[in-house]
Amino acid sequence: MDDIGKEEKGLEAQLTELRGKIAGADSIGATINSAQALLEKLRKRLDEPICWDLKRRVIEVLVAGGRVETVECWGVKQCNVTVTYRFSPSDQPIPLDLPQSYNTRAAIGMPTELRTVGDHLRRGRLVRKMLQKQVAEQIGVDKTSIHNWETGVTEPGFEYMLAIIRFLGYNPLPEGQGWGERLVRRRTTLGLSQKASAQRLGLDPGTLAKWERWRKRAYGHTVEPRNAIPR
């Protein structure tokens, strides 16, 4: 009975500690849920004509601290800023500080993933510290075309691929997975239309169009076009 009593007291102490942690977690959760409403209210208030001193004091209350670091991505130096926001008074037992990281990469526009030809162009241009106008002159298009390619509004036509490859120093087109994709990649790399490519191969344009539409079928089997050209 003595052992059971000791174990019971130990369990009660653990329950008391857990209740305290749950209460603290609930308090933090409630604060997080109200943070968005608080920020929206402050934004409306700050949009009003108020003095800069009041804005400064609001920032001093909300911002717990900040850290500025210089990072380098593909030879381009960028500023990474980490700001820690305070959503509870600093004298509370469990102050809630939410760090938020900002960087100038979004402003500079350095792509983190190269998914399109425009991403390759943008990274190549920024690494070379060139303007869109300068790249446009090298490729033979206007500045608007470069902007549209980099932002994904449009994709460059096949007639510009040779100039793009010369500018980048490599082929940005993804490797083809099947016959059709490899054919499209090859003729696009050469800057050829479907009609011009068919003439080179001695084919009817309709036949080449069918070949380019070939894909892997179900169950993992690949159907190749008849009279296929050796790889």
- pLDDT tens readout for residues 42-68: 777 767 777 878 778 877 777 777 788
pLDDT, greater one: 72 or 82? 82
**81 falls in which pLDDT band (50, 70, 90)?**
confident
> Is the pLDDT at 224 greater than 50, yes or no?
no
Tell me the CA end-to-end span of the chain in Å, nearest whole number.
84
Q: Which phi-psi region, left, alpha or beta, contains residue 155 (left: φ > 0; alpha: ψ -120 to 50)?
A: beta
pLDDT of 199: 87
- pLDDT tens readout for residues 100-157: 555 544 445 677 788 899 999 999 998 888 999 999 999 999 999 999 999 989 999 9
Sketch the domain layout of the chain as residue ranges: 2-108, 117-220
- Looking at residue 34, its amino acid is S
pLDDT of 2: 75
Query: pTM to 2 decimals?
Result: 0.52
Q: Which CATH number fits domain 117-220: 1.10.10.10, 1.10.260.40, 3.40.50.12280, 3.40.30.10?
A: 1.10.260.40
- Concatenating the DSSP letter of every residue in 163-211 gives HHHHHHTS--SPPPSSHHHHHHHHHHHTT--HHHHHHHHT--HHHHHHH
Q: Please tell me what DSSP assigns to residue 219.
A: G
- Looking at residues 182-198, what average pLDDT do you find? 87
Instruction: Tell which residue, 95, 97, 96, 69, has the closest CA to residue 82.
Output: 69
> Is the pLDDT at 221 greater than 80, yes or no?
no
